[in-house]
Chain A
Amino acid sequence: MKFSVERMIFVMTIFSGILLLSGCSSLPHTGCNSIIPPLRTYEDVVKVDGPHLLEVSDSIEEFNRGTYRFNYYFDEYLFLPVVRTYEFILPDYVEDRVSNAIDNINEFGNFTNNILQLKIKASGITLSRFVVNSTVGVAGFWDPATTWGLKRQSEDFGKTLGYYGVGNGSYIVLPIMGPSNVRDTTGLMGDTAAFSLAGPVAWINNTGITTSFSGTSAVDKRHRIPFHYRQSGSPFEYELLRMLYTLKRDYDISN
């Protein structure tokens, strides 16, 4: 897509040359529909020495913008209504218990990825959290481990890959799930595979339970994300999300 902007600017330059020759540039409103470069151009205004925060590798930008648009409609007309119904039916207290229980089951991914990154202490903490919260915390509905000083050691396979030096790769907007990149999408597939092959899904081996877990988990996840499309009030929301996602993942991996 970067290419097409460059191409557009190229076309603009050619056109402005033609316009100068044809004398049409002074009369842009007389049916002459040619592209005229703006007063403030990228070339003049933006002084780039080094990477710019907003310029993130995005080789399938046109497709990504399509997915972003799909996600906006999906969120607005399907996902959020479901989440609002969920929030309407359940009291906040119960919602928090559900969140805790799901977090507890997801300690599986934190554990495997801490192990993969050879973070022995964090793996130990994660294991202890799972044991404490599953027992004292009654199947994870409560989180006594955190009050005892055992803080959640969040990890995922995308971060594990990053830890071993795998770069971001191009930005990808995933359907429904939103911002990601090649590395994190690979990571997500890895985590999902591990979760179903060796994790809680495999332990239970019951499609009904697995399906309702996935459903509840998706609703709970959306319920916890305070993001609403278009709340930024910015025509550059796509760019801002892409930048913030990239910065956040960079930060998470380097810490």
Chain B
Amino acid sequence: MWIRNATAAPQPYFYPFVNPYEATVMELPKYLEAKLPEEVPTREFTLRVFPKREIPEVFWYEDGLVCTLAYQDHKAPLVFVIAGTGSSHDTPRMKKLLKALYQGGFHVISLTSPTHMDFVVNASAGLPGDSLDDARDLYRVMELAYEKVRSEIDVSGFALTGYSLGAFNAAFVAKLDEDNKYFNFSKVLLINPPVSLYDSVSTLDQLLVENVPGGMDKFELWFRNVLAKFSNVTKEMGHAELSGDFLYNAYKRLPPSEENLAALIGLSFRMNSANMIFSADVMNGGGYIVPKNARLSNSTSLTRYAMVAYQTRFIDYFNEYLFPYCQKREPKLTRQSLLDRLNLRYIEQYLKSSEKIGLIHNEDDIILMPGDIDYLQSVFGNKARIFPTGGHLGNMSHPDVVSFMIDFLTGKENRP
């Protein structure tokens, strides 16, 4: 297999999962991953973005937005990393990315996605999901985060990256920075972003609905079967853990069907959306899933809200809650104009003309629509590196991907 980008010198790219669903779910086994340091100097810090905000009692465990800083002991550029849908600053994927960027010579600040409940509760000004609002929320967090650590690190400049929805967010944050000029990012790298957010989330949700055998009415039966299979494998292997090597070995023992993988991807997305929707609703006074003015305590049963939230698709949230909410603020806003702004095409001119913004993507990424890859290729031109396989983020710790990331962000990419 060869890298598609015709401008780069062809080099062999080996990736073990040809099926995009496999690629998306499975982690690379260690021997195929880029070599990363075991430990890097990091510390966590907490931001109180809205100091006067009272956290509702039902979120008794929330106490500020936690971020991770990895610090070099010398002057270096600082890169911000924005996590993908529903992910926090310290997921295994974010930790790997942090190590890769640290190894590439950066100070790193890892940020939780604006769709994760920790962000929604502590740092969102309103409802999450609108590209422009989310960018403003992120920008505020980034300024505070830098203020918080600037006395400890010696910073030579700023860069920005993110993966999946985080990449989409990064594009809008970069655009915002062109006006605000607080950071003046030297480089911005988008890793596997969606083109149309709405289309991508609809696709992900459909994966669940279409792949549970017998339809959603048979969800319980299917879920019990999947758990049983997983229990069997872990029993055979004597232990369970969520490492790449473990999943890889478990997978080899019991190759799950493509339907199961697709449904699991859809389920994980649906659960992430549910977390966001419930939290956003509580933080904005209720009315969508929780009753308006209802006081939820730290021991109120949330079971029925959970059941409703898990049956709520992101597109329901968009149509029934987010759009009316935005329209209240901007009376002239139509559904279509809101949809348009949840799309990279909204800032196409900027993405095209700005030399600093690059892209990594995979031809078989399951969140893209037909034609998206060609579109991205035409917008980013020789600032894009598109791999033939890797699914959605499956190849993020592949050596070729990691070295492109570092080369691009440090400005060493080999372009004619």
Contacts and interface: CB of A to CB of B under 8 A. Distances in A.
Check if A and B associate. Answer: yes
Interface stretch (B123-131, B132-140, B300-308, B383-391): B300-308
Interface string A52-67: 1111001001100110
B291 A233 contact: no
Nearest to B227: A247
B86 interface: yes
Interface stretch (A34-42, A77-85, A205-213, A214-222): A34-42
A39 B320 contact: yes
A5 B274 CA distance: 20
Interface in A52-103: 52-55, 58, 61-62, 65-66, 69, 72
Contacts of A72: 61
Interface in A202-255: 226, 229-230, 233-236, 238-239, 244, 247-248, 251-252
Interface string B88-109: 1000000000000000000000
B227 A248 contact: yes
Contact of A54 (B241, B281, B294, B306): B306
A146 B238 contact: yes
A233 B117 contact: yes
A142 to B, nearest CB: 14
Interface residues of A, number: 47
Interface string B210-225: 0000000001100110
Contact of B306 (A8, A61, A230, A236): A236
Q: Which residue among A42, A229, A236 has the maximum number of chain B CB atoms within 10 Å of its CB?
A: A236
B299 A46 contact: no
A122 B79 CA distance: 56
Given A55-B303, A230-B61, A235-B278, A35 B220 contact: no
Contacts of B58: 235
A4 interface: yes
B66 to A, nearest CB: 10
B294 A8 contact: yes
A127 interface: no
A2 interface: yes
Nearest to B118: A233
Contacts of A239: 302-303, 306
Contacts of A5: 301, 303-304
A12 interface: yes
Q: Which residue among A4, A28, A235, A244 has the maximum number of chain B CB atoms within 10 Å of its CB?
A: A235
Contacts of B299: 61-62, 65-66, 69
Interface in A120-164: 146, 152
B321 interface: yes
Given A53-B220, A61-B301, A226-B240, A46 B286 contact: no
B186 interface: no
B123 to A, nearest CB: 14
Contacts of A238: 302
Nearest to B216: A47
B19 interface: no
A61 B220 CA distance: 23
A22 interface: no
A54 B274 CA distance: 14
A136 B343 CA distance: 65
Contacts of A189: none
A39 B301 contact: no
A1 interface: yes
Given A37-B291, A233-B118, A46 B307 contact: yes
Given A38-B286, A226-B241, A235-B58, A33 B302 contact: no
Interface string B299-336: 11111111111111000100011000000000000000
B308 to A, nearest CB: 5
B301 A2 contact: yes
Interface in B262-310: 271-272, 274-275, 278-279, 281-282, 286-294, 298-310
Given A72-B61, A251-B231, A35 B301 contact: no
Contact of B275 (A36, A61, A234): A234
A45 interface: yes
A50 B274 CA distance: 22
A36 B291 contact: yes
B275 A236 contact: yes
A201 to B, nearest CB: 27
Nearest to A34: B293
B116 interface: yes
Given A8-B291, A46-B307, 12 more contacts: A5-B304, A53-B223, A54-B306, A55-B303, A152-B238, A229-B61, A233-B86, A234-B117, A234-B274, A238-B302, A251-B231, A252-B231
* CB-CB nearest 5 A-B residue pairs: A36-B292, A65-B299, A236-B306, A1-B301, A42-B304
8 contacts: A35-B293, A38-B288, A39-B287, A40-B289, A45-B312, A46-B311, A233-B275, A238-B302
